[in-house]
Amino acid sequence: MTDTGATVSAAMPASTAPWTTGSLHMPTVAVTQRLKAFDLSLERCPDAGGGLSDSDARWPGRMRRIVRASLNYWRQGDLADTAELLTSELVTNALCHGAGRDVGMRISLTQHSLLIEVRDGSPQRPVLRDAQPDDEDGRGLALVDALADAWGISADGTRTWFSLSLREGI
């Protein structure tokens, strides 16, 4: 499946947006910004066999770049490496195991922490696994558990989140 043109709406002027699409062609995505928060939603494009399509496989990288740009914009770039890794794990899980037509992500910054929440539309709760050395998958939530200051799953199972403490107040 090929990508369609980007549809991006933002509550701040494009000249101050912490991301650019350049020549990147993205499926439909909506972005809104509130004070120190971004909400993103992307429409999934699963392949005919129900697996992860080439189009969907590009989304974790895109979300990582949006997280890094947001943190740099907020002058919290020291959190970017860890936040990118954990975001990639949650977005990949949402795309591979979610049930909804879309995947959503919220990036928010409080006075003391960064909170990233990924919504996948599936009431099936993710499970922290004990992956064996030969296993090809099953390590994503273990990384989240090891690196995040806190993480959890919403009561309805549709959202997984993590937080990282800020090194300095904003």
What total of structural domains would you count in the chain?
Answer: 1
Identity at 29, one-letter amino acid code: V
Average pLDDT, the chain: 77
Band of the pLDDT at 7, cuts 50, 70, 90?
very low
pLDDT digits (tens, 9 = 90+) for 61-75: 999 999 999 999 999
In a domain, 70, yes or no: yes
Contact 80, 67 (CB under 8 A): yes
Map residue 120 onto helix, strand or coil. coil
pLDDT digits (tens, 9 = 90+) for 47-104: 777 678 888 989 999 999 999 999 999 999 999 999 999 999 999 999 988 877 889 9
Contact 162, 144 (CB under 8 A): yes
In a domain, 10, yes or no: no
Map residue 35 onto helix, strand or coil. coil
The answer for residues whose C-beta is within 8 angstroms of residue 123's C-beta and 6 or more apart is 99, 156, 157, 158
- Per-residue confidence (pLDDT) for residue 3, from 0 to 100: 32
In a domain, 79, yes or no: yes
Q: How far is CA 64 from CA 61, 126, 155, in A?
A: 5, 21, 26
Q: What is the pTM (predicted TM-score) of this model?
A: 0.75
In a domain, 170, yes or no: no
Contact 67, 116 (CB under 8 A): yes
In a domain, 93, yes or no: yes
- Rounded Cα–Cα distance for residues 106 and 33 (Å): 10
Based on the number of CB atoms within 10 Å of its own CB, is 71 exposed (0-12), middle (13-18) or buried (19 or more)?
Answer: buried
- 91: domain CATH number is 3.30.565.10
In a domain, 2, yes or no: no
In a domain, 82, yes or no: yes
DSSP 126: P
Structural domain boundaries, residue 58: 28-165
Bridge partners of residue 103, in order along the sequence: 42
In a domain, 19, yes or no: no
- Rounded Cα–Cα distance for residues 19 and 72 (Å): 10
Give the closest residue to 92 by CA, choosing from 125, 56, 135, 50: 56
